[in-house]
A = this chain, B = another copy of it.
């Protein structure tokens, strides 16, 4: 962050909803990242990796986790060793298929999630509950409608 001005920057491409969306997502990610870094010594991206993995049952293989994270299997394959080394993920062989690598979180990662999830949740609600003039539920529904609309257009 060394040299980034993080306040609203002059929007050179006008007042477009796409620009606003990017800015908001960046903002939220940066916030979550900072919180996780300070309190738990991990990045948002690492947190998501473990949180998504933890929610998958039975233990997924690399391809399945990649799909759920929305990235390529090569991306997951490359990251696994560092997670194993950090003690957050354990790999296991699939007795039924010698090619597959099954992934599980470790108990340590489970404890970390049990701590971090409520912290994130609390900071999220604290941030949003006194937002007046905006109905968050409606906003969320609108966003989902837009997505459904895009899906229906087969982009």
Chain A contacts to B: CB under 8 angstroms: 2-5, 7-10, 12-13, 15, 17-18, 20-28, 31, 34, 51-52, 55-56, 63, 66-68, 70-73, 124, 127-128, 131, 133-134, 136, 139-140, 142-147, 149-151, 153, 155
Inter-chain contact B27/A25, CB cutoff 8 Å: no
Bound-state Cα–Cα, A113 to B7, Å:
27
Closest to A124 in B: B18
Among A128, A136, A143, A153, chain B packs the most CB atoms within 10 A around the CB of: A143
Q: Is the CB of B73 within 8 A of A3?
A: yes
Residues of B within 8 A of A71 (CB): 4
Q: Is there an interface contact between A25 and B31, defined as CB atoms closer than 8 Å?
A: no
A9 touches B68 (CB 8 A): yes
Instruction: Determine the residue in chain B with the shortest Cβ distance to A144.
Output: B20
Residues of B within 8 A of A55 (CB): 12-13
Nearest to A6 among chain B residues (CB) is B70
How far apart are A138's CB and chain B's nearest CB, in angstroms?
A: 8
Q: How far is the CB of A142 from chain B (nearest CB, A)?
A: 5
Partner of A147, one of B2, B23, B56: B23
- Please name the 4 residue pairs, one residue from A and one from B, whose CB atoms are nearest each other, closest first: A12-B55, A17-B140, A134-B142, A31-B155
Query: Do the beta carbons of A2 and B139 come within 8 Å of each other?
Result: no
